[in-house]
Structure 1
């Protein structure tokens, strides 16, 4: 990730330079973590089920430990929230927080698919300001810095300019897509098991509309949220409310993600469109 430092009359902006360094360190760390995950993906790993009936693998734990060791060393004052680490109230008192999903899309990982990723965001006062999302199996690195844009493998990203629902490419829970299909001639896409990757592909323009059911957490969303935002898209609740991170309960209601015109059409349809009231599927 390359961030151009902002110039001031006295020279480069120190805050911008510090962010440039941190962005580079984050990208390097997430790339290395992805390498660990990919090696374990290729060799096979043990898996088990957590208390919430979701799967976890040795790779999840190994990547989580690697990221925790390296990211917390960058600045001990930055807090920590990860899917695979014990949570606690200490994070609520920090201004900045690493939000981590060591392997987003563990079911895809276990099934031998390519739709999984390492997801890390730096959240400041409730919103992501720095993100790296790496899909090792397809070698795609998505990066974003607040106010500086988003990129995939160094190429700037922009959401698709589509304005109408007809023909829109849609991904998400089947029940959501089926109900939307009753209203418009949309094109359903195969399910991407990593929610972060599903959202990031709105930023690339490969997907026009992405849905998320009401069981996603901060670590599923924060990095992709910034990537979408910096590609001039929107990720919000179905009422159009932006997401806030690092709340006591880091869980979110059903969500929609799209470019501005499609997003406005979907939010405006909430009162009269039944698909928004569908029972949540998995993510």
Structure 2
């Protein structure tokens, strides 16, 4: 891979390459030992991405879910934030396609490039050529909320009930945000625990495509912080953001005063 490629292309090409390697590993190893497959997938993809970024962008720092956190990144202007295998559970289950590879670049306070590979779906979404969003969604169409298939936050179901929405369970955070980008869902909302690598790349692509992306209280998503935890997120079409943030606040207020407090 040529070092003269721009950052958007580097993110796209590395996510694509890592995804193809993960597909080959999955096919070769099979699904009889899911824990072994998950471990191999995490390590193999991390090593590929970390090594390639070291060659292509040797002056940049890297924050990876699978690597040691080099605190020098806090004094660096450019940091690649990567999740070598987002959705490890789904990766190790035969037939599942909702897992991803995330590669993003944070530069001087902003996400400036990103790519999400969905290898089992044969798709890569990136800031090279962000997906085109339809100008409008049908007003009569029922809202579709994508949420965790294994750890769905309780407030999501209450929010869905309030909005008359359908909950679409899915694995990887990258796959969920890409579902919004591709029109499979209208919003992704999560609270209860994530890290910067879970959302950096899909948020970079979502913003480039014109989607709203914020914390669930409406505040800014910020990256390359000393503590990489980033526990909640809302990604949706921009015209829905005010309504959805109000719904989240209402559900949170009810939770704090009503019978669901203990849950």
Quick one: higher RCO (CA 8 Å, sep 6+), 1 or 2? 2
| Paired residues for 1:71-150 under 5 Å | 71-112=53-94, 113-144=96-127, 150=130
2:247 is aligned with 1:264: no
Q: Which has the higher strand share?
A: 1
Contact 2:195 2:231 in 1 (8 A): no
Given the superposition, is the C-alpha separation of residues 271 and 108 from structure 1 closer, same or farther in structure 2, using an over 3 Å criterion?
Answer: closer
Q: Given the superposition, is the C-alpha separation of residues 42 and 218 from structure 1 closer, same or farther in structure 2, using an over 3 Å criterion?
A: same
CA gap 1:163/1:230 in 2 versus in 1, 3 angstroms? farther
Query: Tell me, which stretches of 5 or more residues in structure 2 are unaligned?
Result: none
Distance 2:253 2:140 in 1: 14
Question: 1:209 is matched with which residue?
Answer: 187
Q: Which moved more, 1:120-129 or 1:25-34?
A: 25-34
1:42 correspondence with 2:42: no
User: Alpha-carbon deviations, 1:177-235, whole Å to 9, x = none?
Assistant: 3201321211221x211001101221222210111223111111001001111121112
Distance 1:35 1:269 in 2: 40
Query: In angstroms, what is the RMSD of aligned CA positions?
Result: 2.6
- 1:8-87 equivalence runs, <5 A: 21-44=6-29, 48=35, 56-87=38-69
Task: Give the match's secondary structure for 1:216.
Answer: coil
Equivalent in the alignment of 1:186: 165
- Asked if 1 retains the 8 angstrom alpha-carbon contact of 2:159 and 2:248, the reply is no
Q: Deviations over 1:93-126 (max 9, x none)?
A: 1101111111100000011211111110011123
Number of equivalences? 248
Does the CA contact (< 8 Å) of 2:155 and 2:251 recur in 1?
no
Q: Which moved more, 1:267-276 or 1:254-263?
A: 267-276
Structure 1, unaligned runs of 5 or more = 1-17, 50-54, 152-156
> Could you tell me how far 1:44 is from its partner in structure 2?
2.4
Higher helix share: 2
Q: 1:201 to 1:160 in 2, by over 3 A?
A: farther
Q: 1:219-266 deviations in whole A, cap 9, x for unaligned?
A: 110010011111211121111112110001111132211111211112
Whole-angstrom CA distance in 1 between matches of 2:109 and 2:119: 28
- Alpha-carbon deviations, 1:160-187, whole Å to 9, x = none? 7348697101111442332013212112
1:234 to 207, 212, 226: 212
**Do residues 177 (structure 1) and 156 (structure 2) align?**
yes
Normalised by the length of structure 2, the TM-score is 0.85
| 2:159 and 2:247 in contact (8 A); partners too | no
- The C-alpha deviation readout for 1:23-82, integer Å capped at 9, x for no partner, is 323322222211110011122266659xxxxx9411110110011111121121110000
Task: Say if 1:214 and 1:252, in contact at 8 Å, map to a contact too.
Answer: no
Structure 1 residues 194 and 275 mapped into 2: Cα distance closer, same or farther (>3 Å)?
farther
Q: Which moved further from structure 2: 33-42 or 252-261?
A: 252-261
Deviations 1:134-166 (A, max 9, x none): 111111010115xxx613xxxxx2267348697
In structure 2, the residue matched to 1:13 is none
Distance in 2 between residues matched to 1:276 and 1:241, nearest whole Å: 21
CA distance in 1, matches of 2:249, 2:14: 44
